[in-house]
């Protein structure tokens, strides 16, 4: 017990008892936690109190600012090109970044994209890109700036940005304090605002495979983040998009890179194409770039050219075949009918069990593990046809993965009711 | 993120979302936390969820049992004397144990008393006794048994009892999770039931200097603990006693030992005497010992003899003068009148600032630091007379201590309204 002006137990008790954290208290505790004067246990107790008591908009804004201030703030306002950022709250099979970034770059805006690695059932953009031979996400700031000018994009490890968030995020993961609007909003926005883009488009996922399951909560999260961006003078816009069902036809690192390449080549699953073009359109509009039609860049190969330049600039070699799990098992249709809903969480956990995801930060993952979905919801199914193929390098994982997938899909007689992919748009 | 049958995040989320913890989940997490498989941060998040969501009686009973089972269980049922335990939830100037234990021993019951050290504004019985030259509380179990037979009492460090509670208690102290009925009740009862006494009397403090401030909450805490004792077949009874004002006329380690000796010599402040005799009476009744009048043991010197034997058995030398702070400052009455309420928390913090208490576990304290109260609430005051004397070995502490005491007392024209010392009795 200590009785100084600021001390962790007093701040924790204030929030525990439903009080409001002052700006000074927030600044103090984020700073003290980042440099180790406040213990993990103290921050964990405070986070749980925040989950259960909430924070008002002013507290969220200050918490975000304090986490931003814990690290480096990138600034690209002096670059000759407009910059625009993109963030997804994370889902299953969500490879949109891989196609959106080159499309936007091909249209004339530059995208500085700090990305992370996956944990649990959701994948991370860096894990996906690292399935490309030689690709590195460890870029210096100077290198990021050069790439934005030369290639129009850089996808890099968030490393120096908002280290307070990095530490708190890891703590939330093990303490059951991930699902909280104030904590999710401040985590996302502290990193994205530190990333320095001139505008920002958010893809807020809704559904079983999303961090926030309900549409109402996702909508509130989107509004909170859009307001946070505006408060920092960064025009911000959000799309609410469907995540009850995996995006596209693949879940897993190299599988998703391959699918993104299909989209960049003018093909690919229609939902991935639709999401890519909608996000790219919003980003270009917000960046004030018009003239080029994003869809045209997929047809004429300029988006693919952008992607190749981006990967090459970061050391990646697309001529090396992408890895794929050496062992596989296929789920076969037991009847004729129509594919029903496919549960995003079930597929995400299946991919995780196959080795595509981590149980804890830092764990090695399998680039070639994952799930290919042969029949998507609403498509006709014929008995005996393959529905899913599961890939892994470690065959002993197949049993648990097959069991995990069971019950996550069904074949019926009627077309399932499907939500539109783009549920809503929250303009800034 | 892990997906095993029991894992900390899942248990934390269950309580966070208002669910009930199963017996198996409680057993698992207490065990896993005690041996380090569950991190401090995870237990801290769970504790905060318990503070805000509560636990039902069944969960509290199981949590208590799991903490008991983490360590040694003492058993004195084979001793030739009846045993009875005593516990106070902690207050300011609460030296009752020092007089109660020898009174009960003098009347023919044996008291195994596991005690702790103080933290923050409340003192600890072991800290007080250690102001006696040579006294040790580190007794082997065999030694405790022998002393119960030979001397009728042993006051020892809780060491091996309920190590899970010890670890959780230290964590609660730094994470703002002390004030919670389920956590207080299970902490107290896990230690007291492991202590092995045949019956148990609880002194539940109510007021500004108590852990639980409101009478309603203290009453609920008392009922919960009495029921927990009964559930384990240990007849348990509680007194609710007043702690708005410090008990007696001294606060601080050696000062309180000296005051207890006055009580044992047949004198001392009337409130300390009253509490001592009420607690001793309840303990003797519950232990089934009648015949001797506790008050008589104070008059005829047999309680003092018991105390001397107890202290001598544990290495203490009462012929060495008790230490007293080398520096002092006195607060003088500025007017005539009647002493009003004296705030227990203010006096407790004053003693802590003088060096009598700890800011963190393990810190050294000053045996001779503390506060002497010359005029107690309701007593007449004459301008110029001393009201409080503050003692310390470190004179630089006097300024902050004097400032802390200010506002914690007043002199008025009328007698303050005072609650009776014994507010209620909760029979088992």
Considering chain A, what percentage of its residues have pLDDT values greater than 90?
Answer: 88
| Lowest-confidence segment of A122-131, A315-324, B111-120 by average pLDDT | B111-120
Q: Does pLDDT of A42 surpass 60?
A: yes
Q: What is the mean pLDDT of residues A227-252?
A: 96
Residue B154: CB atoms within 10 Å: 25
Residue A119 with chain B: CB contacts under 8 Å: 1
Q: Does pLDDT of A213 surpass 90?
A: no
Q: Does pLDDT of A420 surpass 50?
A: yes
| Lowest-confidence segment of A130-139, A207-216, B4-13, B181-190 by average pLDDT | B4-13
Of A45, A119, A121, the CB nearest to B45: A45
pLDDT at B4: 45
Chunked in runs of 10, what are the mean pLDDT values of chain B (428 residues)? 66 97 96 95 98 96 96 94 94 95 97 84 86 96 95 91 92 90 95 96 94 89 96 96 96 97 97 98 95 94 98 97 97 96 95 89 89 96 97 97 96 92 93
Tens of pLDDT, residues A149-160: 999 999 999 878
Please indicate whether, in this complex, the C-beta atoms of B41 and A175 are within 8 angstroms of each other: yes
CA-based nearest residue in chain B for residue A11: B176
- A172, A192, A205, A278: which is the annotated catalytic residue? A172
Least Cα distance to B303 among B279, B337, B333 occurs for B279
A21 near A14, Cβ under 8 Å?
Answer: yes
**Å from A423 to nearest chain B CA?**
27
- Give the containing element (helix H, strand E) for B380: strand B380-381
* Predicted interface score ipTM higher than 0.90: no
Please indicate whether, in this complex, the C-beta atoms of A44 and B177 are within 8 angstroms of each other: no
B196 near B73, Cβ under 8 Å?
Answer: yes
**Over the range A53-87, which residues count as b (16 or more CB within 10 Å of their CB) and which as e?**
bebeeebbbbbbbbbbbbbeebebeeeebbbbbbb
d(CA B99, CA B278): 12
Reported confidence tier of residue A119, pLDDT bands at 50, 70, 90 = low
Cβ burial of A356 (10 Å; 0-12, 13-18, 19+) is: buried
Q: Does pLDDT of A277 surpass 70?
A: yes
A193 near B29, Cβ under 8 Å?
Answer: no
Please indicate whether, in this complex, the C-beta atoms of A176 and B40 are within 8 angstroms of each other: no
pLDDT at B119: 67
**Å from A414 to nearest chain B CA?**
34
Name residues whose C-beta falls within 8 Å of residue A309's C-beta, 6 or more positions apart in sequence. A150, A151
Residue A52 with chain B: CB contacts under 8 Å: 16, 48-49, 52-53
DSSP for B70-105? TS-----TTSSS-B-EEEE---SS--HHHHHHHHHH
Of A2, A16, A359, the CB nearest to B52: A16
pLDDT at B428: 76
Residue A359 with chain B: CB contacts under 8 Å: 1-2
Torsional class of B332: left (φ above 0), alpha (ψ -120 to 50), beta (otherwise)? beta
Of A43, A45, A173, the CB nearest to B47: A45
What amino acid positions of B are annotated as catalytic residues?
87, 165, 172, 187, 191
Tokens, residue B163: 């190590």
Task: List residues of B whose CB lies inside 8 A of any A CB.
Answer: 1-3, 8-13, 16, 39-49, 51-53, 119-121, 171, 173-177, 349, 352, 359-360
Of A48, A359, A360, the CB nearest to B48: A48
d(CA A124, CA A116): 6
Give the residue from A41, A51, A183 with the most B CB atoms within 10 Å of its CB, the best one to mutate.
Answer: A41
Q: Examine the residue annotation and report whether A87 is marked as an active-site residue of this protein.
A: yes
pLDDT at B359: 75
DSSP for B215-258? HHHHHHHHHHHHHHHHHTT--EEEEEEE-SS-SSSEEEHHHHHH
Of A9, A176, A349, the CB nearest to B175: A9
Please indicate whether, in this complex, the C-beta atoms of B3 and A43 are within 8 angstroms of each other: no
Phi, psi of A192 (to 5 degrees): -70, -35
Residue A119 DSSP code:
B
* Mean pLDDT, rounded, of chain A: 94
């Amino acid at each position: 017990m200590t009785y100084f002006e600021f001390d962790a137990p007093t701040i924790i008790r204030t929030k525990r008892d439903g009080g409001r954290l002052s700006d000074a208290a927030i600044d103090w505790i984020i700073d003290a936690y980042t440099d180790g004067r406040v213990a993990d246990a103290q921050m964990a107790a405070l986070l749980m109190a925040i989950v259960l008591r909430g924070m008002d908009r002013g507290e969220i804004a200050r918490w975000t600012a304090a986490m931003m201030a814990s690290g480096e703030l990138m600034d690209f306002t002096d670059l000759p090109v407009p910059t625009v950022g993109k963030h997804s709250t994370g889902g299953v099979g969500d490879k949109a970044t891989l196609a959106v970034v080159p499309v936007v770059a091909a249209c004339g805006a530059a995208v500085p994209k700090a990305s992370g690695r996956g944990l649990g059932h959701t994948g991370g953009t860096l894990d996906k890109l690292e399935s490309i031979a030689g690709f590195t996400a460890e870029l210096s700031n100077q290198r990021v700036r050069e790439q934005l000018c030369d290639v129009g994009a850089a996808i890099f490890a968030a490393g120096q940005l908002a280290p307070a968030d990095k530490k708190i995020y890891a703590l939330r993961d093990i303490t059951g304090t991930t699902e909280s609007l104030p904590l999710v909003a401040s985590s996302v926005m502290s990193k994205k605002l530190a990333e320095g883009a001139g505008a920002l488009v958010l893809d807020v996922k809704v559904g079983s495979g999303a961090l926030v399951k309900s549409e109402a909560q996702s909508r509130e999260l989107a509004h909170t983040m859009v307001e946070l961006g505006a408060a920092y003078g960064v025009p911000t816009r959000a799309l609410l998009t469907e995540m009850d069902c995996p995006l596209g036809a693949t879940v897993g690192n190299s599988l998703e890179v391959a699918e993104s390449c299909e989209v960049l080549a003018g093909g690919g699953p229609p939902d991935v194409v639709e999401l890519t073009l909608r996000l790219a359109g919003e980003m270009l509009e917000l960046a004030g770039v018009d003239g080029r039609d994003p869809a045209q860049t997929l047809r004429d190969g300029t988006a693919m050219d952008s992607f190749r330049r981006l990967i090459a600039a970061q050391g990646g070699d697309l001529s090396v075949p992408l890895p794929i799990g050496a062992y596989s098992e296929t789920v076969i249709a037991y009847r004729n009918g129509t594919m029903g809903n496919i549960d995003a969480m079930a597929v995400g956990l299946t991919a995780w069990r196959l080795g595509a995801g981590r149980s804890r930060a830092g764990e090695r993952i399998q680039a070639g593990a994952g799930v290919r979905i042969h029949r998507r919801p609403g498509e006709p199914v014929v008995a005996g046809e393959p529905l899913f193929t599961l890939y892994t390098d470690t065959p002993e994982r197949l049993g648990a993965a097959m069991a995990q997938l069971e019950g996550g899909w069904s074949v019926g007689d009627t077309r399932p009711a499907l939500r539109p992919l783009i549920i809503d748009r929250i303009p800034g």
